[in-house]
């Protein structure tokens, strides 16, 4: 585009660079806000998936069938945590303050458990002798 004097006026006609910069600022703020909300919403899950290998005992990495495990957290689990764990296996009781025993945990459920950022470790359950 050209102005009456034959000079280039840009893609937006006679809009100056200063006005374009001013119009860009709200867009940048909007995009930044959306990215921040995504980070808040997805950050913990992403962190859990990225660090999943640190939680799962190496002996459980390639199991073929269901296993019994002990799941340890860095805090005393509350109702929400216990419900989430029960979706992955059969709740078989607590061991101390921070550890829960789950029976019949499938390989897929092991992967799901290891991706939960609030779990510290997952190891094979130790058989109790009566």
Q: Is the pLDDT of residue 89 over 50?
A: yes
Q: Say which residue the tokens 């799962």 belong to.
A: 56
Q: What is the pTM of this model?
A: 0.66
- In the prediction, which pLDDT does 5 show? 56
Q: Is the pLDDT of residue 54 over 80?
A: yes
Mean pLDDT over each residue of the chain, to the nearest integer: 83
- In the prediction, which pLDDT does 21 show? 72
Q: What percent of the chain has pLDDT over 90?
A: 52
> Which one is predicted more confidently, 113 or 48?
113
Distances (CA, A) of 39 to 30, 36, 54: 14, 5, 22
């Amino acid at each position: 585009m050209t102005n009456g004097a034959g000079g280039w006026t840009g893609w937006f006609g006679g809009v100056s660079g200063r006005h374009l910069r001013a119009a860009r600022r709200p867009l940048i703020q909007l995009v930044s806000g959306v990215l921040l909300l995504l980070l808040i919403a997805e950050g913990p899950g992403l962190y859990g998936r990225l660090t999943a290998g640190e939680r799962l005992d190496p002996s459980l990495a390639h199991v073929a069938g269901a296993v019994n495990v002990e799941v340890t957290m860095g805090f005393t689990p509350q109702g929400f945590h216990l419900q989430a764990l029960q979706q992955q296996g059969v709740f078989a009781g607590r061991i101390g303050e921070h550890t829960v025993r789950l029976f019949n945990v499938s390989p897929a459920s092991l992967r799901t458990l290891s991706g939960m950022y609030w779990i510290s470790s997952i190891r094979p359950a130790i058989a109790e002798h009566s």
